[in-house]
Amino acid sequence: MSTQSDPGAPVKVRRYSGSARLNHWIMAISFVLLLLSGLSLFHPSLFFLSGFFGGGANVRWLHPWIGLVFATGFFLLFLRFLPANLPERTDFTWLGRIGHVLAGRDEYLPEVGKYNAGQKMVFWSQAILVPILLVTGFGLWTPGLEFAEQTFAFKATMDQKRLAALVHAIAAVTAIVIWIIHIYAAIWVRGTMGAMTRGTVTGGWGWRHHRRWLKDEVADGRVENKKPSPAE
Ligand code: HEM
């Protein structure tokens, strides 16, 4: 929604509520902390990263708890963003014209809703990876293993623990690569960062990148280009 006194200023359109942004940033910060603490446990050459957490002993107990915060945050974000990330026919057209996407030729692309197919792929790949990280992480965590033993009478064998460690590492590296692509896209498409920081984008950004979403926002009366009255 826009309330502007400068008639030349771009129309501002709300893209995220305060609670959606808080949800995203709690999850994003916990992801970075997981990345640093996880890498410090991953290889001796990266052990120096444990210094951020006050040493190796701290990292060992902190990493799983940060993981639980992250997984809870992601689960809430998943529920919140699910409707806008459901696949549509136009996603395949968009993907088929990926050359135009990369060249910034938006005029050759179908009108996009709140998220394009690339964003939806980030959403769904993380939706698969986070539960894998959670389950395998539980299998590497002593309290997690004790919980599984007491609740489900499941006692993990050494081979199962080794497999859990391998799958956990592969899923983590994949999630990090997808996260880097996610950040790159957010910086590359100018004006996107403001969506998650201020909560708004310009009407021009919406028209160029998410035209169907913008049209829906206008049709539903959520965009208001309030002209200043003579008294203002
Ligand atoms: C710490 C760095 C991060 C930055 C700078 C960042 C930035 C952003 C921005 C600017 C948006 C808005 C995009 C738009 O509305 O078009 C966004 C949306 C989103 N972010 Fe992040 N993000 C970060 C971390 C993460 C992480 C760690 C995840 C998940 C594991 C994630 C998942 C999402 C999802 C699911 C959306 C909604 C778009 C979609 O469904 O694909 N973000 N992020």
**What is the full per-residue pLDDT of the chain (232 aa) written as tens digits?**
444 556 678 899 999 999 999 999 999 999 999 999 999 999 999 999 999 999 999 999 999 999 999 999 999 999 999 999 999 999 999 999 999 999 988 889 999 999 999 999 999 999 999 999 999 999 999 998 999 999 999 999 999 999 999 999 999 999 999 999 999 999 999 999 999 999 999 999 999 999 999 999 999 988 876 554 455 4
CB 144 within 8 A of CB 61: no
Round to whole Å and give the CA distance between 3 and 22.
Answer: 24
Total-model pTM: 0.91
Which tokens is 8 given?
């030349």
Q: What is the pLDDT of residue 6?
A: 67
Distance 125 CA to ligand 1 centre (A): 13
Q: What is the pLDDT of residue 225?
A: 63
Provide the β-strand partners of residue 225.
Answer: 2
- In Å, how far from its chain's centre is CA 188? 16
Maximum alpha-carbon separation in the chain:
77
Which of 76, 101, 196 is the pocket-test mutation for ligand 1 (most atoms within 8 Å of CB)? 196
Q: In the CATH scheme, what is the homologous superfamily, with its name and number, of domain 13-221?
A: Transmembrane di-heme cytochromes, Chain C (1.20.950.20)
Listed by start position, the domains of the chain span 13-221
Q: How far is CA 18 from CA 93, 142, 174, in A?
A: 33, 37, 29
Report which residue type is found at 93. Answer: T
- Classify residue 140 as exposed, middle or buried by CB count within 10 Å of its CB (0-12, 13-18, 19+): middle
Select which of 24, 100, 168, 182 is catalytic: 182
Q: Which residues line ligand 1 (CB under 6 A)?
A: 15, 24, 27-28, 31-32, 74, 77, 81, 85, 115, 119, 122-123, 126, 179, 182-183, 186, 192-193, 195-196
CA-based torsion, 207, 209, 212, 217: positive or negative: negative
Side-chain-side CA neighbours of residue 53 (13 Å): 24
